[in-house]
Amino acid sequence: MTSHSVLQIVLFLGVLLACVRPLGWYMARVYSGSAPLLERFVRPIEDLLYRLCGVDRNREMTWKEYSFAVLLLSLVSFVAVYGFQRLQSLLPLNPDNMPAVTPDSAFNTAISFTTNTNWQGYGGESTMSYLTQMLALTVQNFVSAAAGMAVLVALVRGFSRQLATTIGNFWVDLTRGTLYILMPLSLFLAVSLVAQGVVQTFDSSREASLLEPIVDANGETIKVQKIAVGPVASQVAIKQLGTNGGGFFNVNSAHPLENPTPLSNFLQLLSILLIPAALCFTFGEMIGDRRQGWAVLAAMSVIFVPLLVLTVLAEQHGNRALTSLSVDEVASETQSGGNMEGKETRFGIVNSAMWAVTTTAASNGSVNSMHDSYTPLGGLIPLWLMQLGEVIFGGVGSGLYGMLMFAIVAVFVAGLMVGRTPEYLGKKIGAFEIKMAMLAILFPCATVLVGTAVAVVSSAGIATIFNPGPHGFSEVLYAFSSAGNNNGSAFAGLGANTPFYNGMLGAAMLIGRFWVMLPVLAIAGSLAAKKTIPVGAGTLPTHTPLFVMLLVSVVIVVGALSFFPALALGPIVEHLLVNG
């Protein structure tokens, strides 16, 4: 690893950690009912929305009512996104006359954006009208992200309240998260990206004359290139901040009109982890013990940083297949060196690898390089990060509440070792909480493994695996790992825009979202109804380095035991074959 690589990693992590405390404190204020600086300007809009929707901001919900509200919002979102796609040929703001999206692709995309997965089996600039991109996809980027944050806040209230029957009002949490957090940050980021050259326009596609005409597959000479433009910056900002990841262009953040400069790349990369990391501080602030939030953030970082370094090293080491062709893979003043296949030269190895690890750790799924072209070990790490349950930072809200499920399991394991009833944050952890936590952890695992197994033994699944052998298996495993854990990135050598994969991956996304979210809300309701127990001599401290390492161990062991056999059939055996 070069000194330049180390400097970039340290700079990224340093700026990220510097933002955790102020943003985390601000978000805690927002969900507690106040919003410094912005409340004077945004509060009238908030009140107007409540009046228009008939929401009583003072009426709180039980966990079942909260769950019903989440499901109702998701159903309405699905219908709206599906409808926009199927009717876009009849709707305005379609300057390039995009036809209606096919039923199976529209179904998959509607589920994808509803569940905050943003898996894209289509090329955005060649499939979606501007209206669909804005009113369906971009709006859903806000709503699905705010819903994940609301569920986290409901769980936090479960820990902080006692003898209570309610955990907040979903519609209030959703509205405040959108108006006071996501929208201001998105506006700032969008303007910054426009300043860097990211396009934002309603004009139709531009045409440019080629300096050297080419001949297409039909033997026709092509002299003009169509350059897609559109309202890009506004979608890019929220796709990163909301850990959505669905890009305007097919190649996502590798596109020069979506991510043109090193500074735009840094801002987008930082925004992916900004809210998930800061929510750890929000968690500690809202329960009245900041040490708990720092401990969870430390556990995430202990896993994230070594995997980031290993990915950079794997890609910097180079590709043996390219080495045999006498390709210069040595880093120098004029090139990044290493395995540059599928990577943009303006980003190089370290920025590409940092993005790959960040986007799969954070349930974001956007890409600035082709993960399918990574070395076997370089591709294994992003794949495994998703399989850990998207809890290493993870999605906004969903990553932290997923990690708290592992924390509940960790205190349960510790309780078994000392023969004591487990406690976490002053609440006794009983059989109900353990059952719900295990459902939240194991359902995505089962979804990934069962879905992969079905795909590789069915004719419809095999038909679009274009790379036979272990790499083809890795592509299928990656697709279901991405869908089942609501990430959205892909090993793009798999032809996934088919009725089979659209249906299977759509089902995986639903399970990955709601079979985690609903058990979390059930735990929130159960904990809120319990008394808070004072800390005693036998209480396991959950803010110490010992607990951090216990939590890290539980996350890694569950991931290793669940997926090592599958990984052995894919990237591990591919690594042995390539380097044998």
Tell me the per-residue pLDDT of 36-90, one tens digit each, with 9 for 90 and over: 888 889 999 999 999 999 999 999 999 999 999 999 999 999 999 999 999 999 9
* Helix/strand/coil for 427: strand
Which amino acid type is present at position 509?
M
pLDDT for the residue numbered 163: 94
pLDDT for the residue numbered 4: 84
Q: Return the closest-CA partner of residue 564 out of 447, 438, 439, 449.
A: 449
Name which of 63-72, 321-330, 460-469, 471-480 the model is least confident about. 321-330
pLDDT for the residue numbered 545: 95
How high does pLDDT run on average in the chain?
93
pLDDT for the residue numbered 334: 75
Query: Tens of pLDDT along 475-513?
Result: 999 999 999 999 999 998 899 999 999 999 999 999 999
Question: Measured on CA atoms in the order 458, 463, 468, 474, is the torsion positive or negative?
Answer: negative
Residue that the structure tokens 């991109």 belong to? 133
174-177: Cβ within 8 A, 24+ apart: 174/73, 174/143, 174/146, 174/147, 174/150, 175/46, 175/49, 175/50, 175/55, 175/146, 176/30, 176/31, 176/35, 176/46, 177/30, 177/31, 177/145, 177/146, 177/149, 177/150, 177/153
Query: Tens of pLDDT along 192-243?
Result: 999 999 999 999 889 899 888 888 878 888 989 889 999 999 999 999 999 9
Query: Tens of pLDDT along 259-280?
Result: 999 999 999 999 999 999 999 9
Would you say how long the chain is, in residues?
580
Query: Tens of pLDDT along 144-158?
Result: 999 999 999 999 999
Phi and psi angles of residue 545, each rounded to the nearest 5 degrees, phi first: -55, -30
Give the burial class of 439: count Cβ atoms within 10 A of its Cβ; 0-12 exposed, 13-18 middle, 19 or more buried.
middle
Residue that the structure tokens 């790992």 belong to? 481
Residue 486 DSSP symbol: T
Rounded average pLDDT over 17-28: 97
- Residue 502: give the domain boundaries: 3-579
Of the pLDDT bands very low, low, confident and very high (cuts 50, 70, 90), residue 311 is very high
**Alpha carbon 362 to chain centroid distance?**
5
Structure tokens at 416: 């078994």
Of the pLDDT bands very low, low, confident and very high (cuts 50, 70, 90), residue 245 is confident
pLDDT for the residue numbered 215: 87
pLDDT for the residue numbered 84: 96
pLDDT for the residue numbered 332: 78
Residue 55 DSSP symbol: -
Res 333 pLDDT > 90: no
Structure tokens at 309: 């370094």
Measured CA angle at 34 (ends 28, 35), to 5 deg: 80
The structural domain count of the chain equals 1
Query: Tens of pLDDT along 382-418?
Result: 999 999 999 999 999 999 999 999 999 999 999 888 8
Rounded average pLDDT over 175-192: 97
Rounded average pLDDT over 560-566: 91
Residue that the structure tokens 């493994």 belong to? 449
Residue 443 DSSP symbol: H
pTM of the model: 0.94
Res 324 pLDDT > 90: no
Residue 200 DSSP symbol: B
**How far apart (Å, rounded) are the C-alpha atoms in residues 402 and 390?**
7
Res 453 pLDDT > 90: yes
Query: Tens of pLDDT along 97-113?
Result: 999 999 999 999 999 99
Q: Are the C-beta atoms of 124 and 250 separated by less than 8 Å?
A: yes
